[in-house]
């Protein structure tokens, strides 16, 4: 086999890093989901009451869009 070019080596390294990241995401999905939700809940500028209001407004807008069709 001949010498690999720099671009080819870089592509292999990037592909290996992407595959490794994907494997870690899949392997630790339950822990990462729990961690990410706890970060979302710990945001001091987020008001939990606003989330309920936003969800209701989104549902009403979606229902109005469906009825308008």
Please report the pLDDT score of residue 16 as a whole number. Answer: 98
Q: What percent of the chain has pLDDT over 70?
A: 80
Please report the pLDDT score of residue 22 as a whole number. Answer: 96
Q: Where are the domains of the chain?
A: 6-68
pLDDT class of 60 with cuts at 50, 70, 90: confident
Torsion, Cα 33 35 37 40, to 10 degrees, reads -140
Please report the pLDDT score of residue 54 as a whole number. Answer: 66
Give the Cα separation of 21 and 28 in Å (integer).
11
């Amino acid at each position: 086999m001949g010498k690999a070019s720099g671009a080819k080596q870089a592509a292999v390294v990037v592909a290996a890093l992407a595959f490794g990241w994907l494997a870690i995401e899949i392997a630790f999905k339950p822990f990462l989901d729990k961690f990410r939700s706890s970060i979302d809940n710990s945001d001091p500028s987020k008001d939990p009451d606003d989330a309920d209001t936003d969800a209701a407004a989104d549902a009403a807008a979606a229902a109005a869009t469906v009825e308008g069709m």
